[in-house]
């Protein structure tokens, strides 16, 4: 049985439809990528998974539980690393992990989690004195300290330098080796191509494609030797009217 | 990166052996937030030291003369109730709103919503901490007033407690309302300052309520801090229960503002 099932998810904010119709399922132990352009509906989708938003239609299940009505088990099962979430400036890394561990009945040892994330020597460092990569790793530590079965990682490597990004990727693989299912939200195609077992490409609130990275490259590009997931993504998420140049948008002629 | 992965440390709870961590500890949130509060020296200075400094300065400067236009009271007698409420007002409208707005702006409340702990718990913890610090400051003002300047202790004491609880609740409600309507931390700071000065003006921080004109005094009676200071005056120098009207004003502010704050508070 899949650990995550999303079936015909629909969510709008006022008259704006954020998610039109999204369905996918994630198997236990997978690294599942959710890709899409800015505003495609990725974050809304994972917020519905985490129980942070109520869908307007469709069905979401996490390990068989409805995140909205069956909140307690879902909050135990799912660890979330949110895009742009910060901590108080003067909170020390060790205190943050201790605090989040205190929320759960059977947490991991906070020191061991810090160690596993390469932050063992940063336990006494205040949040504001951590580097971007260290903050990101601390955020992952908070998502993992409750020993979740599913980790949702949203825009994990935004703003990280190439070294920190690679380290974070290695970390995601380790998380999976520990038996945690990973849902990775990203618009960094290289990240998805290297990490994900399967990816769902969300475009205009719908699943435009769902396959392995290699499968997507094969079907959505000319399949040349240099074709990348980014080529496939661009082909899948192009605006409907965008074959070739757009018409001149200004009410005066082009100077020739 | 030196990640020595220790799979056991992070393995999900389905693959559980004996749990290496401890069971859920609800007091940890309170402890952590209290620690964070104590790491703000400027806040501590303003809420714990400044009222005492003003008290000692006024007591030393104005001396113990009984003033005719203060109804026979000494200047220090009129200032003890005002300064007793000073920290509470400061904590409620200047310190609490930016703290809550920061928790919201940084996504801390949203982040909490994904854990087994409700974000409302953090709000409750912040209220408890701010109220506790206010009580410490208030007791210090009353004690120093008594020991250094022979200002009468609150009597009847239950009346003092009633005033304290009502005033604390209504001022903290104002603080939560400011946090609710302020779109950013900066706005919360600005609105807090904007609320603090009139509140404390009518509470007699600059001119004692006794020397206010009748009109000004009536306005003061209708404000939460003004009514609270008047009521405290009754129990310190007057030695009587405050009027039901004064307690009613404080409670009414608490209820109206509390309802508005609850209705408008945003968690993200």
Complex confidence, ipTM? 0.85
Contacts of A201 (CB under 8 A, 6+ apart): A35, A36, A207, A208, A209, A210, A216, A233, A236, A237
Q: State the Cα–Cα distance between residues B197 and B178, nearest whole angstrom.
A: 14
Q: Among A86, A90, A118, whose Cβ lies nearest the Cβ of B1? A: A118
Structural domain includes residue A109: no
Alpha helices in chain B, H assignment, sequence order: 7-10, 27-38, 41-44, 50-62, 75-89, 96-105, 108-113, 119-149, 157-181, 185-202, 214-222, 224-233, 244-264
Structural domain includes residue B144: yes
Structural domain includes residue A188: yes
Judge: A103–B117 Cβ closer than 8 Å, yes or no.
yes
* Length of chain B (residues): 268
Residue B193: per-residue pLDDT? 95
Residue B10: per-residue pLDDT? 66
Q: State the Cα–Cα distance between residues B31 and B35, nearest whole angstrom.
A: 6
Structural domain includes residue B7: no
CB A5 within 8 A of CB A25: yes
Beta bridge partners of A79: A151
Structural domain includes residue A138: no
CB B222 within 8 A of CB B246: no
Radius of gyration of chain A (CA): 20
Q: What residues make up the domain containing A46?
A: 4-87+148-236
Structural domain includes residue A244: no
Find chain B residues with C-beta within 8 A of A122's C-beta: none
Domains identified in chain B, total number: 1
Q: Is residue B5 less than 8 Å (CB to CB) from chain A?
A: yes
Contacts of A38 (CB under 8 A, 6+ apart): A187
Interface A-B, measured as beta-carbon pairs within 8 A, has a size of 143
Q: Is residue A76 less than 8 Å (CB to CB) from chain B?
A: yes
Find chain A residues with C-beta within 8 A of B11's C-beta: 147, 178-180
Residue B246 has pLDDT above 90, yes or no: yes
Query: Which tokens in the block code for residue B98?
Result: 């930016």
Judge: B117–A88 Cβ closer than 8 Å, yes or no.
no
Q: Among B9, B106, B114, whose Cβ lies nearest the Cβ of A80? A: B114
Q: Is residue A148 less than 8 Å (CB to CB) from chain B?
A: yes
> Which of A33-47, B5-19, B122-136 ranks highest by mean pLDDT?
B122-136
Q: Is residue A13 less than 8 Å (CB to CB) from chain B?
A: no
Find chain B residues with C-beta within 8 A of A87's C-beta: 106, 108
Q: State the Cα–Cα distance between residues A241 and A204, nearest whole angstrom.
A: 14
pLDDT in tens, B22-50: 567 889 999 999 999 999 999 999 999 99
Q: Is residue A103 less than 8 Å (CB to CB) from chain B?
A: yes
Find chain B residues with C-beta within 8 A of A91's C-beta: 32, 36
Query: For residue B15, what pLDDT band results from cuts at 50, 70 and 90?
Result: very low
Unique residue bearing structure tokens 């135990």 = A76
Q: Is the dihedral of CA B28, B34, B35, B37 positive or negative?
A: positive
Q: Classify B115 in phi/psi space as left (phi over 0), alpha (psi -120 to 50) or beta.
A: beta
Structural domain includes residue A14: yes
Structural domain includes residue A77: yes
Structural domain includes residue A11: yes
Q: What is the mean pLDDT of each run of 10 residues along chain A (256 residues)?
A: 94 91 95 90 91 93 94 94 86 96 93 90 96 89 93 85 86 90 90 93 91 88 80 81 63 69
Residue B53 has pLDDT above 60, yes or no: yes
Structural domain includes residue A95: no
Query: What whole-number percentage of chain B has pLDDT above 70?
Result: 91
Domains identified in chain A, total number: 1
Q: Among B8, B14, B114, whose Cβ lies nearest the Cβ of A149? A: B14
B19: closest CA of chain A, how far (Å): 6
Give the residue, B62 or A127, on which the prediction is more confident. Answer: A127
Unique residue bearing structure tokens 């948008």 = A249
Q: What residues make up the domain containing B70?
A: 27-264
Find chain B residues with C-beta within 8 A of A182's C-beta: none
Identify the helix (H) or strand (E) that includes residue A163: helix A162-177
Judge: A88–B108 Cβ closer than 8 Å, yes or no.
yes
């Amino acid at each position: 049985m899949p650990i995550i099932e999303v079936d015909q998810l629909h969510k709008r904010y006022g008259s704006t439809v954020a998610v039109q119709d999204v369905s996918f399922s994630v198997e236990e132990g997978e690294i599942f990528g959710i890709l899409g352009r800015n505003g495609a509906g990725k974050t809304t989708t994972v917020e519905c998974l985490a129980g942070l938003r109520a869908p307007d239609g469709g069905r979401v299940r996490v390990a068989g539980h409805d995140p909205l009505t069956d909140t307690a088990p879902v909050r135990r099962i799912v660890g979330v690393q949110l895009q742009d979430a910060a901590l108080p400036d003067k909170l020390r890394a060790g205190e943050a992990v201790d605090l989040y561990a205190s929320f759960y009945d059977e947490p991991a040892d906070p020191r061991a989690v810090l160690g596993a994330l390469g932050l063992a020597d940063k336990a006494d460092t205040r949040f504001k004195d951590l580097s971007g990569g260290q903050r990101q790793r601390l955020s992952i530590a908070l998502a993992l300290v409750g020993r979740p079965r599913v980790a949702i990682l949203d825009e994990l490597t935004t703003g990280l330098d190439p070294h920190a990004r690679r380290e974070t990727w290695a970390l995601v693989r380790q998380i999976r080796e520990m038996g945690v299912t990973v849902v990775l939200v990203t618009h960094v195609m290289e990240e998805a191509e290297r990490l994900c077992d399967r990816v769902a490409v969300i475009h205009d609130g719908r699943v435009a494609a769902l396959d392995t990275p290699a499968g997507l490259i094969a079907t959505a590009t000319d399949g040349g030797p240099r074709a990348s997931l980014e080529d496939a993504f661009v082909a899948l998420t192009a605006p409907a009217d965008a074959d070739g140049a757009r018409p001149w948008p200004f009410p005066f002629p082009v100077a020739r | 990166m030196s990640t020595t992965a220790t799979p056991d440390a992070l393995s999900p709870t389905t693959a559980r052996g004996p749990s290496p961590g401890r069971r859920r500890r609800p007091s940890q949130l309170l402890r952590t937030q209290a620690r964070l509060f104590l790491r703000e020296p400027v806040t501590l200075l303003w809420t714990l030291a400044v009222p005492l400094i003003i008290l000692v300065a006024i007591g030393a400067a104005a001396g113990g003369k009984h003033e005719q236009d203060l109804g026979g009271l000494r200047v220090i007698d009129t200032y003890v109730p005002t300064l007793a409420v000073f920290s509470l007002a400061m904590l409620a409208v200047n310190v609490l709103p930016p703290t809550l707005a920061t928790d919201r702006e940084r996504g801390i409340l949203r982040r909490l919503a994904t854990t087994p702990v409700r974000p409302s718990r953090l709000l409750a913890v912040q209220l408890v901490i701010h109220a506790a610090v206010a009580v410490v400051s208030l007791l210090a003002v009353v004690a120093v007033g008594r020991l250094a300047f022979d200002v009468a202790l609150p009597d009847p004491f239950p009346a003092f407690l009633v005033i304290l609880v009502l005033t604390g609740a209504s001022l903290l409600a104002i603080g939560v309302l400011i946090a609710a309507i302020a779109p950013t931390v900066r706005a919360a700071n600005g609105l807090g300052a904007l609320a603090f000065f009139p509140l404390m003006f009518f509470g007699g921080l600059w001119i004692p309520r006794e020397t206010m004109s009748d009109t000004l005094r009536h306005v003061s009676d209708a404000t939460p801090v003004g009514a609270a200071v008047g009521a405290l005056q009754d129990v310190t120098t007057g030695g009587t229960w405050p009027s039901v009207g004064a307690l009613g004003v404080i409670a009414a502010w608490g209820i109206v503002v509390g309802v508005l704050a609850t209705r408008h508070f945003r968690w993200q």
